[in-house]
Structure 1
Amino acid sequence: MKTMTCRALGGPCDLEHRAETADEIIKAQDRHLKEAEKAGDGTHQEARQAMKARWRHPKKSMAWYTETKQTFAALAED
């Protein structure tokens, strides 16, 4: 199990996500941003919009995805 924060994934807070894989941690961040946006958190709304915009541009999204996977892989197990 490894841990990354919302901030480490491009978000505005230090909420910790724990997962076995980078894909699981990315999905946890996506859920967190969606929930915060629904709750009216403006700082998370910006991060959510940035994430949605990133996926509209395949090269940007793949660069972010690859970097996130590498960062996750380099983390020590909890």
Structure 2
Amino acid sequence: MKKMTCQMLGGACDLVFQAETFDEIAGLSQEHGKAMFAQSDPAHLAAMNKMMGLMQDPNAMKDWMDGKRAEFEALPESE
């Protein structure tokens, strides 16, 4: 298992996600983002707007995702 925070994944808080794979942790982050969107959390909405900007350029989004995947892979295993 590895851990990443919401902020490490482009979000706005220090909530910790824990998963075996990057795809799993990305899914947890997306679910959290949906919950924060539903609550109209200002900090998370601002972070989502930044992500929407990245999504406008497929290459930029791919580069960002590749970087986050590499960051996840480089993390030590947690207990």
Per the TM superposition, whether the score is higher than 0.5 is yes
Answer yes or no: is 1:53 the counterpart of 2:53: yes
Cα offsets for 1:23-68 (capped at 9, x unmatched): 1111111111111011110100111222233223111111111000
Report the AA paired with residue 58 of structure 2.
P
Asked if the contact 1:37–1:44 (Cα under 8 Å) also holds between the matched residues in 2, the reply is yes
Q: How is 1:60-75 mapped onto 2 (pairs within 5 angstroms)?
A: 60-75=60-75
Unaligned regions of 5+ residues in structure 2, if any? none
The percent identity for this pair of structures is: 37
Query: Aligned partners of 1:15 and 1:32: how far apart in 2?
Result: 9
Residue 17 of structure 1 aligns to a residue whose secondary structure is strand
Aligned residues: 78
Answer yes or no: is 1:10 the counterpart of 2:10: yes
> 2:30 corresponds to which residue?
30
Unaligned regions of 5+ residues in structure 1, if any? none
Query: Aligned partners of 1:27 and 1:49: how far apart in 2?
Result: 18
Query: Aligned partners of 2:39 and 2:15: how far apart in 1?
Result: 15
Structure 1 segments (4+ residues) deviating >4 Å? none
- Taking only aligned residues, the RMSD between alpha carbons, in angstroms, comes to 1.1
Report the AA paired with residue 32 of structure 1.
H
